[in-house]
Amino acid sequence: MLNGQKRWLYIAVPIFFFWFFGQIDKVGISIIQTDPEFLHALGMTGDDKNAKIGLLSFVFTIAYGISNLFWGFIIDKLGARKTAIAGLFVWTLTMITSGLANSYEIFLISRIILGFGEGMMIPVSGKLISNWFNKRELGRAQASWLTGNYLGPAMGAVVLVLVISLLHWQAAFFMLAAFNLFINIPMFIFMTRNTPEEHPRISKEELAFIRQTDDEMKETAPSQNKKSFAQDYRFWIVWFGMLVCSFLFFGISIWLPTYLIEAKGFEKEGMSSITSLSWLFALGFVLACGFLADKTRRPSMMATILFSLTAVFLTVAVFIPNPILAGLCMGLAMGCQGGVFHLSNMLMVKYSTPETAGRAAGLIGFTNIMGGFSSYIMGWLRDLSGGDFSSSIAMLIFTAILGLAAYLFSIKRESAELRLSPIPVQKIQA
């Protein structure tokens, strides 16, 4: 059973849960911040209430983005496994601290530390996937962990609303700490290794298959392997696209539950349903992009289309009067950016090597810093406009157009490479 496919068990499964619970930690604040008791307990009231709420995500993503650069170098030196375990312990402790916080300042500090601890998630995942999977299955390998990235919040939205309703907002943080302590940390300790060569249960046949693609890529594109990813302008297009994607994704996801309740009049049950569905939209786009990217080999073209759709869905959400359809359009816009996030990480691995994947992923992860600016600016604009979301959404539409424009510069090169490189026939493993 799983003969020749054990990399999917020992690496893909731990990374799936890594992101499943990690994303609930990260975006669960969007649900918790709709609880009036939480807002009053930490002093988030008054005319600057929305700016204070936005600041929570701002400081988190600043720490998250900056620490990606730090973790990227650490991973290349110490390995992804030890780095993941260290980061997991850090964010488990911050979940406990968040649940015990009795002031806005203490909670704010806990969010900063959480951002630092979770900053290693993208570099760890990029490094492990680069080491453990061949080039021709990158789309599926990335989709395996990005599934957890979106399925976690989809299920977590419902669970968090239930926990807060039945118990208390503090219980939500203690529950998240337990998930990491008893599931994520043991998985990385007992199941993962930095490379397949270090794992005692990986066969020689599977190892040969994993490494086979690397050798073929060196033969078919030697100049690309000699070139540093930092010298390839397409990497920087992907990097800029991720800046835009982070701005859009965090802006929508952090404020979506509040938008549904305060702007569209949903009750908590309806809010959690639309929010969960939005994360499932993102999951659907991730799975579709993973499949289509491997089949068409046109990820840049796909990213261009997704940015276009994002602008369209956001525009419809502004003008359509039906609250359910407006909420669904916001969710579809968020889903499109989930697809862009997946394509960006796949392109990051394509333009780097196993030796530089940690640093390349660190630079990509740094772009999450824009999510903090997005959440804070949206809160600030809401305070200026008396709680209205129109100006915030208009800002997001303009940002989506910037992402569309950036990827237009890489489409021609991608098309030329596709004509010069026929789709290889993958060997069947015994």
pTM, two decimals, is 0.74
Answer whether 317's CB lies under 8 Å from 266's CB: no
Average pLDDT per block of 10 residues along the chain, 430 residues long: 80 92 82 89 84 86 81 83 92 92 92 89 85 78 76 87 90 92 94 90 86 54 53 81 89 88 86 89 84 79 92 93 92 91 77 68 72 83 86 92 88 71 47
Q: What does the pLDDT read at residue 350?
A: 72
Burial of 185 (0-12, 13-18, 19+ CB in 10 A): middle
- C-alpha span between 126 and 200 (Å, rounded): 22
In this structure, which CATH number among 1.20.1250.20, 1.10.10.10, 3.40.50.2300, 3.30.930.10 belongs to the domain 7-189+220-420? 1.20.1250.20
DSSP 43-109: T--STTHHHHHHHHHHHHHHHHHHHHHHHHHHHHHH-HHHHHHHHHHHHHHHHHHHHH--SHHHHHH
pLDDT value, residue 417: 67
